[in-house]
Every structure is written in C-alpha cells, then in structure tokens.
Amino acid sequence: MKKTSQTGLRPDSRKRAPKAGLPRAADRIRSSARDLFYHQGIRAVGVDAIVAEAGVTKPSLYRSFASKDELAAAYLRDYELEFWRRFDAAAEAHPGDPRAQILAYFTGLAQRSGQPGYRGCGLTNACIEYPDPDHPARQVSVVNKQAVRRRLVDLARRMGARDPEALGDGLQLLLEGAYVSSQIFGADGPVRHLADAATHLIDASLK
C-alpha cells in the first residue's frame, strides 16, 4: 500500500494544496478589470492590459468571458452590487424615514467623491462611453438607472411629496450631476452642497 502523509493527503494533493487559497483566474480577471475599467475607462483598456494585471493568459480570459464586451458587462454587474449595498445601508440606518435615507446616501456620496481615485459612477460613465443601446455595458447601466429612478420616486412618495415623480426625477438629476461634477471640480466643487440642495428640493416638494 502506498504511504500517505500524516494529514492523509496523497503526495500530489500536497503539491496542489497551496494553490487552494489563491483566487481563481476568472476572479482575478474580474478584479483587475474592475480597477482598470473604473479608473481608466472601458474603451481605453485593452485585453492585454487586463491579463497582464491579472497575471493570466488571454485564453484564460476568453474561457471565462466570451469577449471584452461581456467582461465589461460583468464588471458593471459587480459595480451595481456595490452601489446597492451603499444605497441599502443608508436606508437601513434610518428605518421608516425616507427623507433621512436619501440624505444619508447623498452625504456619503459627497464624502466619497473626495477620496483619491474617485471617478464618479462607473455605470454612468459606461452610458457615456457606449451610446449604442444594444451594447452589453450600456444595457446593464440603463437597467440600473431605471431601477434607481423607481426607487427615488418611491422614496418621494413615502415622504408625502405632492408630485412624487417630479421629486424623484429631481433627486436623480442631483445624483447624476454629482457623479459628473465631482470629476471636474473635485470634492470642493458643487458636490459639497449635494445634501443641502436635496434638502431644499425635498422641502419645496412637501409644502
């Protein structure tokens, strides 16, 4: 009978064990694409840069993702999860108070815009990069923006706004304006007044 180690692993298993804790190639690709696409733009980043950053080969990338466009869509789906985590965290911090929920998210956004490397919303940026309505990246982004619009209108309705759609759309305009203006002016620009502007808009909509 072939001897095994004291741990019960066969010799070939012992050799593979250290790799068990390493991220899969697909996960490394997604992580690298997320960083590169967000900070440099999707169009500006080629497949060569992604595989070099991830430490994988092109065949590995194309085994996990059919094309760069599909990888871009996967990046945006990951980004969307991050967005909703932040949005929901603001809501959970103020249960039953829709006004405080949206103001908490806007306050957090204004603070994040001052962090190094902040480039607005990756989903908004993708919409600007890809005007083609059939592009996978744009489709992911548009679905998210539509969901955000519904959520904001619902918050406005729960606040008791006279015209919930008008208030919801106004809040979304403030949100998108913050994403873009923060990339132009930084944290000391208009985004520093984001929560105050939202407060005034809400107050005017409730009178």
Q: What string of pLDDT tens digits covers the 207 residues of the chain?
A: 444 444 444 444 443 433 445 568 899 999 999 999 999 999 999 999 999 999 999 999 999 999 999 999 999 999 999 999 999 999 999 999 999 999 999 999 999 998 889 999 999 999 999 999 999 999 999 999 999 999 999 999 999 999 999 999 999 999 999 999 999 998 899 999 999 999 999 999 997
Give the torsion through C-alpha atoms of 38, 40, 44, 46, to 10 deg.
-70
The pTM is what? 0.85
Place of tokens 């169009």: 43
Contacts of 119 (CB under 8 A, 6+ apart): 38, 39, 125, 183
Whole-number Å distance between alpha carbons of 207 and 205: 6
* Per-residue pLDDT at 114: 85
Enter the tokens of residue 67.
């094309």
In the chain, the largest separation of any two C-alpha atoms, in whole Å, equals: 85
Per-residue pLDDT tens over the stretch 47-76: 999 999 999 999 999 999 999 999 999 999
| C-alpha triplet 193, 194, 198: angle, nearest 5° | 115
pLDDT of residue 147: 98
- Single out the residue of 112, 41, 46 nearest to residue 82, CA to CA: 112
